[in-house]
Amino acid sequence: MNAEVPSAAGSRLAALNRWVADVAALTKPDAIHWCDGSDAENAALIAKMQADGTLLPLNPETHPNSWLHRSHPDDVARVEHLTFVCTPEREDAGPNNHWMPPAEAHAKMDALFDGCMRGRTMYVIPYCMGPIDSPLSRCGVEITDSPYVVANMRLMTRMGAPALARIEREGSFVKGLHSTGELDPERRFIVHFPEELTIKSYGSGYGGNALLGKKCHALRIASHQARKEGWLAEHMLILGIENPQGDTHYIAAAFPSACGKTNLAMLIPPEGYRRDGWKVWTVGDDICWMRPGADGRLYAINPEAGFFGVAPGTSAKSNPNALASIQSNTIFTNVGVTADNQPWWEGIDNGQVPVTDWRGEPFDPAKRPAAHPNSRFTVSAKQCPSYSPMAEDPHGVPISAIVFGGRRASLVPLVFEARDWTHGVLVGAAMGSETTAAATGAVGVMRRDPMAMKPFCGYNFADYFAHWLSFDTPGAKLPKVFHVNWFRKGDDGKFLWPGFGDNLRVLEWMIGRVEGKADAVETPIGLLPGEAGLNLEGVALSDEARDKLFGLDRAGWQAEFASIGEYLAEYGPRLPRALLDEQERIAKALG
């Protein structure tokens, strides 16, 4: 058993070697494997998982080199109530996080890890979040006993030898220790130590709980790093919109999980727009790291290399680019299968029928859906037809607009623009959305989810809002800030806006506002396009839809801003006074 990286003795990897040796002494694996990210290594891991049933091969004719994984039925989503941020002072974690003293957390986790890898192989995964040569990127190492995690991390990050070389150059990395343990929900914890750049995750094999480069590193730990280093780590997609003149604007947009980030990131323009020459480019669908550039603009990278997307609802209508991306070289988790062994989920609408559900049992719609509502696909971003080569640009892409949005069945119009940066930060801080199946708990409950970061911010939201406000400095050329709501419903409970490709009509208005070419109507809550502000050619909207999508319910907003004031007050004296002043100003304007 070799606990030391090959041919690295005496190098700047000494700290990494010591940590790996310490973990091996604690967890007691039968073997240690240092991952190099090679095709041969991946093929061997896939063969191992196929042999033990961890991965089931799908139809090689329709989905070549694609696999199905079934997680434990009690291990199917993020577990926010078991996710902790461990800072020396409780106030630094804030009321938005579950907190545990670091010493207590280490003791609890190390007791769980003690001997947990007996009979298993310990995999050491060096990885880079972001383009391997970008100054905006950050590296990490995940130690895990799950080959499924290794296979997914290979798709989701720049994993292996190049990442290890960068770690050796820089001498710093985020440490992530993971074990599936016994998959016992009573012995499951995901614990973060921001001051130590360390993550410990035990008892889950599911996505964001186990792929530690994703939410754990790229958001909870990175948000802490970003505050110290003067940048932003955000739960945002990044897309490029190219107009008929060949100019491209990049937009970053924050939506809670399962609220349409992937669909928007891979948007296909309506037919008339395509005919006129509009194009949409996908840079990222989930996470965005932004840093001020020399010219005062914010530049963004997607730290991920793949998509870990929600399968249900993905179809040729809702997201043809996503569907095209996952026809090969894809790992599916917790979906159903058809008689000829093709992956299937609710909403795929391809005329096929499932015979086996996500638990591996005969499909019975009276018993459970064929695919779990939070079932997933993992695939390289480069397989997306709309993939942008700029995703590998080490300098990142300049952001013209930041968009916030969530699921709101009532009150919130289709789109509005913040007056300035401070108002924009309030719009993000006050963002509300109805909960989805991406996390455990009740679905459809409205909750505040600031910047879509409620489950992911690694420190006190009051300090996080202050950090956002700090970017408004002399010479800064900050993006315009907007809020959208694709999910407004009519009295009959049906969506009023067609969504999907037609969302480009809203993005076009935003770009017009950035360029100073589009008109807007001033209201207390922000600048609205008005009904004539959007290109609605070919879109049939009822009178009710026009009224609710482009109107202002003053009484409803008075109640909303009273609620926002109560919410902000929960953060106490650390909350920036500027946000309270902005909330009070708008509440007064609403009368």
Do residues 223 and 256 share a domain? no
- The whole-number pLDDT of residue 228 equals 97
d(CA 159, CA 138): 12
Q: What is the pTM of this model?
A: 0.96
User: Which residues in the chain come in under a pLDDT of 70?
Assistant: 1-2, 6-10, 436-443, 531
Query: Is 192 flagged in the annotation as binding?
Result: no
Q: Which two tokens stand for residue 341?
A: 């062994």
Query: Is 257 flagged in the annotation as binding?
Result: yes
Strand ranges inside 145-197, DSSP E? 158-159, 174-179, 189-193
Structural element, H or E, at residue 567: helix 554-569
472 Cα distance to chain centroid? 25
Query: Is 208 flagged in the annotation as binding?
Result: yes
- Residue 231, amino acid: W
With residues binned 3-state (H G I as helix, E B as strand, rest as coil), the percentages for the chain, rounded to 5, are 35, 25, 45
3 state SS of 330: coil
- The whole-number pLDDT of residue 1 equals 66
By the 10 Å C-beta count (0-12 exposed, 13-18 middle, 19+ buried), 375 is classed as buried
Q: List CB contacts of 25: < 8 A, sequence separation 6 or more.
A: none
Q: Give residue-wise pLDDT tens across range 444-501.
A: 778 899 999 999 999 999 999 999 999 999 999 999 999 999 999 999 999 999 999 9
By the 10 Å C-beta count (0-12 exposed, 13-18 middle, 19+ buried), 522 is classed as exposed
Q: What angle do CA 458, 461, 465 make, to 5 degrees?
A: 115
Query: Is 407 flagged in the annotation as binding?
Result: yes
Q: List CB contacts of 262: < 8 A, sequence separation 6 or more.
A: 237, 285, 286, 307, 309, 310, 314, 319, 322
By the 10 Å C-beta count (0-12 exposed, 13-18 middle, 19+ buried), 552 is classed as middle
Is 9 a member of any domain? no
Range of the domain at 131: 14-53+76-230
- The whole-number pLDDT of residue 7 equals 57
Is 58 a member of any domain? no
- Output the DSSP codes for 490-554: -TTS-BSS--GGGHHHHHHHHHHHHTT-S--EEETTEEE--GGGS--TT----HHHHHHHH---H
CATH number for the domain spanning 343: value is 2.170.8.10
Do residues 152 and 218 share a domain? yes
Query: Is 263 flagged in the annotation as binding?
Result: yes
- The whole-number pLDDT of residue 255 equals 93
Do residues 294 and 316 share a domain? no
Do residues 225 and 259 share a domain? no
Do residues 482 and 577 share a domain? yes
Query: Is 247 flagged in the annotation as binding?
Result: no
Query: Is 286 flagged in the annotation as binding?
Result: yes
Where in the sequence numbering do the catalytic residues fall? 259
- The whole-number pLDDT of residue 9 equals 46
Query: Is 235 flagged in the annotation as binding?
Result: yes
CATH number for the domain spanning 570: value is 3.90.228.20
Is 331 a member of any domain? yes
Q: Give residue-wise pLDDT tens across range 353-379.
A: 999 999 999 999 999 999 999 999 999
CA nearest neighbour of 409 among 336, 486, 480: 486
Do residues 396 and 351 share a domain? no
Is 425 a member of any domain? yes
Sign of CA dihedral 198, 193, 213, 75: positive
3 state SS of 84: strand
Domain boundary among 336, 352, 383: 383
CATH number for the domain spanning 43: value is 3.40.449.10
- The whole-number pLDDT of residue 530 equals 74
Is 22 a member of any domain? yes
Do residues 524 and 482 share a domain? yes
**Cβ-contact 481, 401 below 8 angstroms:** yes
Query: Is 206 flagged in the annotation as binding?
Result: yes
Do residues 33 and 109 share a domain? yes
**Up-side HSE of residue 63: CA atoms within 13 Å toward CB?**
24
- The whole-number pLDDT of residue 8 equals 53
**Cβ-contact 395, 299 below 8 angstroms:** yes
Do residues 249 and 362 share a domain? no
Domain boundary among 316, 351, 383: 383
Total of domains in the chain: 3
d(CA 143, CA 178): 6
Is 59 a member of any domain? no
- The whole-number pLDDT of residue 565 equals 97
Q: What angle do CA 72, 77, 82 make, to 5 degrees?
A: 100
Is 5 a member of any domain? no
- The whole-number pLDDT of residue 434 equals 83
Query: Is 130 flagged in the annotation as binding?
Result: no
- Residue 578, amino acid: A
Task: Say what the alpha-carbon torsion angle 82, 85, 88, 91 is, to the nearest 10 degrees.
Answer: -100
d(CA 552, CA 312): 33
Query: Is 336 flagged in the annotation as binding?
Result: no
Do residues 546 and 442 share a domain? yes
**Cβ-contact 153, 163 below 8 angstroms:** no
Sign of CA dihedral 36, 174, 463, 472: negative
Query: Is 461 flagged in the annotation as binding?
Result: no
Is 65 a member of any domain? no
Do residues 215 and 100 share a domain? yes
Query: Is 472 flagged in the annotation as binding?
Result: no
Domain boundary among 339, 357, 383: 383
Do residues 475 and 555 share a domain? yes
